[in-house]
């Protein structure tokens, strides 16, 4: 599933986050890259324990918790602490697949990366290039979203960030271990959830809506790992 989630951050959160990012000290982005990814990665990144990064992590995590679309699509069990990167001056990140598991630097807990997300802090009119290109069985998809919006996609996807030739592309990125690890099953559940919400809004909790809701929860019960 490739999903655009709009307005994850409020205007106030976005302004505050950009102010924090403007005064933060950036480091080489390869600090969190694996051996193979480090060869293709050219960007800047906030150290995970920097004060600005910790405040931004809390803000993004709070935004995710209140976002119904994110919950429905990702069915999160564990969210890896959000990271923050910057591309400028020709920086890019070549084709790669995200590491299958990562260790939370604060808790030491291992997190399986089922779902990848990029949350944009700069808008498409603020930089040239910098498209996130995600490849799947349907081809290549170029993503460049408004500030405050987020793209969600399977962590199994081959993807890259094109060179930023002007301006700066600043974003948060993170991974989620889902309660349902299989992307096809998550997609089916997400579509069912949207259909249930639409039926409930139009028809209320009639017999058909209740039956479909029961089927959704029974599938979720069958596939969930908690």
Alpha helix stretches (DSSP H) within the chain: 11-23, 35-38, 51-65, 68-74, 183-203, 207-223
Residues of the chain with CATH 2.60.120.620: 3-178
Average pLDDT over residues 166-191: 98
- Residues at the binding site for Fe cation are 96, 98, 159
Is this model's pTM higher than 0.85 or not?
A: yes
Residues of the chain with CATH 4.10.860: 183-223
- Residues at the binding site for 2-oxoglutarate are 169
pLDDT beyond 70 at 136: yes
* Number of DSSP helices (H) and strands (E) in the chain, helices first: 6, 16
- Residues at the binding site are 96, 98, 159, 169
**Total Cβ atoms within 10 A of residue 98:** 19
Confidence of residue 29 (pLDDT cuts 50, 70, 90): confident
Determine the pLDDT at residue 192: 97
Domain 3-178 annotated CATH 3.40.50.300: no
CATH code for the structural domain at 183-223:
4.10.860
User: Quick one: which of 22, 71, 7, 42 has its CA closest to 170?
Assistant: 22
């Amino acid at each position: 599933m490739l999903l655009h989630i709009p307005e994850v951050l409020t205007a106030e959160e976005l302004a505050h986050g950009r102010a924090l990012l403007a005064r933060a000290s950036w480091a080489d982005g390869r600090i969190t890259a694996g051996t193979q990814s480090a060869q293709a990665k050219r960007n800047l990144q906030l150290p995970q324990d920097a004060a600005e990064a910790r405040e931004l992590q809390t803000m993004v995590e709070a935004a995710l918790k209140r976002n119904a679309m994110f919950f429905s699509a990702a069915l999160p069990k564990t969210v890896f602490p959000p990271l923050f990167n910057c591309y400028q001056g020709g920086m890019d990140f070549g084709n790669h697949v995200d590491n299958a598991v990562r260790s939370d630097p604060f808790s030491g807990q291992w997190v399986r990366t089922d779902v990848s997300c990029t949350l944009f802090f700069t808008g498409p009119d603020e930089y040239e290039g910098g498209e996130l290109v995600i490849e799947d069985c349907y081809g290549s998809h170029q993503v460049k979203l408004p500030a405050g919006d987020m793209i969600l996609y399977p962590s199994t996807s081959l993807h890259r960030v094109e060179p930023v030739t002007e301006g700066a592309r600043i974003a948060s990125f993170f991974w989620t271990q889902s309660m349902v690890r299989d992307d096809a099953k998550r997609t089916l559940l997400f579509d069912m959830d949207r259909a249930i919400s639409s039926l409930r809004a139009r028809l209320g909790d009639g017999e058909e809506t209740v039956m479909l809701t029961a089927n959704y929860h029974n599938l979720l019960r069958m596939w969930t790992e908690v």
